[in-house]
Amino acid sequence: MNPSQDKAHSISLMVANRPGVLVRISLVFSRRGYNIDSLVVSPTLDPSFSRMNIVARGNPTILGQIIMQLEKLVDVVQAKDHTNMNVVEKELALIKVNCTPEQRTEMLQLCDHFKAVTVDMTETSMVIQITGNTDKIDAMKSLSQKFEIIEYIRTGKVIMLRGEEKT
């Protein structure tokens, strides 16, 4: 497989805040045989519009065609691939681990290293909240596995261009 086909592409869309918009956008991806790896939809300063951040993997040429198709949809104001651009990308994850009192110090040191915080603690478990880029969250998840991960949930990427230009 070509390495460029494996690369994750971060796409942002400004869309009208109306029912059915998400379905029409996801259909554009599914018709091309693309799976959406992550999707975040959030309000903007203007309640008439929403921002969508989509991460999908695949051939850059076909993703370019998908973006052109998205821009033709009535409810899409703007669609951009931000891959390899100067952006701020963040995710959030909650990780619940088995953690005995004897293991707690080690788990708290791991949290300290990754600047994660505990948001819940019982006698035998902890819920950790971590924010950051994909690699940081992947590393925290990997190192938490020695404590037996009970539950794991993760947001998609939120993306914003650096500087004065609007995403």
* pLDDT at res. 34: 87
* Assigned fold of 88-160: Alpha-Beta Plaits (3.30.70)
Neighbours of 144 (CB within 10 A): 24
**CATH superfamily, domain at 3-81:** ACT domain (3.30.70.260)
Ordered by start, the domain boundaries in the chain are: 3-81, 88-160
Please return the burial class of 51, using the count of CB atoms within 10 Å of its CB with bins 0-12, 13-18 and 19+: buried
pTM above 0.85, yes or no: no
Phi-psi category of residue 74: left, alpha or beta, with phi > 0 → left and psi -120 to 50 → alpha: alpha
Position 52: which residue type? M
Would you state the structure tokens that stand for residue 77, as one six-digit string?
Answer: 């104001």
* pLDDT at res. 165: 81
**One digit per residue, pLDDT tens: the chain, 167 residues?**
444 456 888 999 999 999 999 999 999 999 988 889 999 999 999 999 999 999 998 888 888 899 999 999 999 999 999 988 888 999 999 999 999 999 999 999 999 999 999 999 999 999 999 999 999 999 999 999 999 999 999 998 998 889 888 87
Domains 3-81 and 88-160 share a fold: yes
* pLDDT at res. 8: 84
